Amino acid sequence: EAQVTQNPRYLITVTGKKLTVTCSQNMNHEYMSWYRQDPGLGLRQIYYSMNVEVTDKGDVPEGYKVSRKEKRNFPLILESPSPNQTSLYFCASSVGQGSGYTFGSGTRLTVV
């Protein structure tokens, strides 16, 4: 089944403790992206990647890092999480700019 898989689905962590949210897609998509979703703000793009080793900042990149060493994987790294990064995170992939996204099921992160 074609899908984007994120792990974990739920995560509670403490301020300053480094964490990684994994994202993997099995559709050979070149384009991958991370979003955060907050009430009243819709989805805001954190980082995106157009191919292996090609990444760029989205609208809200502060406090996040990404890497794209393989085509299928696009992990999101929070080096020193803070409470304002408490949010619902989505990974998405796409075959092309006009084809629409396939989204993962989301990761609900709480930073205390």
Q: Which is nearer to another protein, 38 or 79 (CB)?
A: 38
Nearest distance, CB of residue 6 and another protein, angstroms: 8
Closest CA to 3 of 33, 28, 34, 21: 28
Q: Which is nearer to another protein, 18 or 87 (CB)?
A: 87
Nearest distance, CB of residue 42 and another protein, angstroms: 4
Nearest distance, CB of residue 50 and another protein, angstroms: 6
Q: Residues 91-106, buried b or exposed e (16+ Cβ, 10 A)?
A: bbbbeeeeeebbbbeb
